[in-house]
């Protein structure tokens, strides 16, 4: 079985209103092939909407929660896009207001009118200043022909998350990210590669980029689609990668049957060997 995946690198820009942001999104989707089964956008790529506030230059990080004012418009936009294009859209993440606080949430639009979501379970230390709260669920999603998990940025740096997803049947981990420095980007990027090798899964990494002023911080990164470092894929595990620092879209077709065979007969059968020695790890944890 094959699936085609597109990953969008999104450049932050100042906007006057939601319609300006919508035009940015539509321009990105002009680069997304219609035959893509899954489309990924980055973490908090909606942050540019904060610049539409007339008092933007005087805002502080405590005003990040104003982003929740756009949630309904965001939902309507991607609901419509997914249905028109008949694609599963993992619409990056945005801030979501709930009864118990504000979450960093990824919404998933299946093209049939249904919406699922994943709330970031591990807040990056800098996010603590935003008064966001952490989600408590690590669910996988069987939407379309595959099962997948969502690891929002810092979550990909927590090895247990990807392991749980793989044990629950995930073959792809979608990682939307927003890193404020090259250090942060490479932490996420290297961990994405490690998670692909450890769990013999594909990882799709989509970063928010762009140079900004004010409370919206600049983003660094390169979008990539990653496999385990093994035959029959590329030696470095990179199936596709952007080479520019502005808005870009990359696309790759992934063969799931080859992935399953690799777990059984590859040069490094990490999934099989971790299961084989699981009693050893349980003993070590008790010490």
Note the pLDDT of residue 204. Answer: 98
pLDDT in tens, 270-281: 999 999 998 898
pLDDT band at 284 (very low <50, low <70, confident <90, very high): low
pLDDT band at 287 (very low <50, low <70, confident <90, very high): very low
- Cα separation, 87 vs 109, in Å, equals 8
- Cα separation, 137 vs 134, in Å, equals 9
Q: Which of these is catalytic: 43, 155, 157, 198?
A: 43
Determine the distance from the C-alpha atom of residue 249 to the mean position of all C-alpha atoms in its chain, rounded to a whole number. Answer: 14
- Cα separation, 233 vs 265, in Å, equals 14
- DSSP structural state of residue 58: G
The first and second tokens of residue 99, run together, are 């009864």
Q: Which of these is catalytic: 8, 153, 175, 191?
A: 153
Query: Is the separation of the CB atoms in 6 and 39 below 8 Å?
Result: yes
Note the pLDDT of residue 134. Answer: 95
Percent of the chain with pLDDT over 90: 90
State yes or no: is 168 an active-site residue: no
Give me the half-sphere count of Cα atoms (radius 13 Å) on the Cβ side of residue 170: 26
pLDDT in tens, 164-196: 999 999 999 999 999 999 999 999 999 999 999
Note the pLDDT of residue 129. Answer: 78
| DSSP per-residue string spanning 133-201 | --------EEETTEEEEE--GGGGG-HHHHHHHHHTT-SEEEEEE-BSSHHHHHHHHHHHHHHHHHHT-
Q: Could you tell me the residue ranges of all domains in the chain?
A: 2-286
pLDDT band at 285 (very low <50, low <70, confident <90, very high): low
pLDDT at position 89 over 60 = yes
Query: Is the separation of the CB atoms in 109 and 118 below 8 Å?
Result: no
- Cα separation, 112 vs 88, in Å, equals 9
pLDDT at position 286 over 80 = no
pLDDT in tens, 95-154: 999 988 899 999 999 999 999 999 999 999 888 778 899 999 999 999 999 999 999 999
pLDDT in tens, 253-264: 999 999 999 999
pLDDT in tens, 56-67: 999 998 899 999
Note the pLDDT of residue 183. Answer: 97
- Cα separation, 257 vs 91, in Å, equals 27
pLDDT in tens, 185-239: 999 999 999 999 999 999 999 999 999 999 999 999 999 999 999 999 999 999 9
Model pTM score = 0.96
State yes or no: is 229 an active-site residue: no
Q: Which of these is catalytic: 11, 120, 191, 198?
A: 120
State yes or no: is 153 an active-site residue: yes
- Cα separation, 176 vs 148, in Å, equals 13
The CATH architecture annotation of domain 2-286 reads 4-Layer Sandwich (3.60)
Angle at alpha carbon of residue 71, lines to 170 and 161, rounded to 5°: 25
Average pLDDT over residues 19-36: 97
């Amino acid at each position: 079985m094959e699936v085609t995946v597109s990953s969008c690198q999104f450049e932050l820009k100042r906007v006057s209103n939601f319609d300006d942001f919508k035009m940015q999104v539509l321009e990105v989707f002009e680069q997304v092939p219609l035959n893509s089964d899954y489309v990924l956008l980055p973490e908090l790529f909606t942050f540019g909407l904060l610049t539409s506030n007339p008092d933007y230059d005087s805002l502080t990080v405590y005003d990040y929660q104003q982003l929740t004012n756009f949630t309904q418009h965001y939902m309507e936009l991607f609901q419509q896009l997914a249905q028109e294009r008949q694609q599963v859209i993992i619409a990056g993440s945005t801030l979501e207001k709930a009864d118990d606080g504000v979450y960093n949430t990824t919404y998933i639009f299946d093209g049939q009118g249904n919406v699922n979501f994943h709330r970031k379970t591990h807040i990056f230390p800098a996010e603590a200043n935003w008064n966001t709260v952490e989600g408590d669920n690590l669910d996988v999603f069987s939407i379309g022909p595959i099962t997948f998990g969502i690891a929002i940025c810092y979550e990909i740096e927590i090895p247990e998350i990807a392991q749980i997803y793989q044990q629950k049947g995930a073959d792809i981990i979608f990682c939307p990210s927003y890193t404020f420095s090259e250090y942060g980007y490479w932490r996420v990027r290297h961990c994405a590669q490690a998670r692909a090798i450890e769990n013999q899964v594909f990882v799709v990494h989509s970063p928010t980029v762009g140079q900004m002023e004010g409370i919206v911080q600049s983003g660094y990164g390169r979008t990539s689609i990653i496999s385990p470092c093994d035959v029959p894929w590329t030696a470095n595990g990179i199936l596709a990668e952007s080479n520019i620092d502005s808005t870009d879209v990359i696309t790759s077709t992934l063969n799931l049957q080859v992935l399953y065979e690799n777990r059984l007969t590859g040069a490094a059968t990490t999934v099989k060997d971790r299961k084989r020695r699981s009693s050893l790890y349980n003993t070590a944890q008790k010490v």
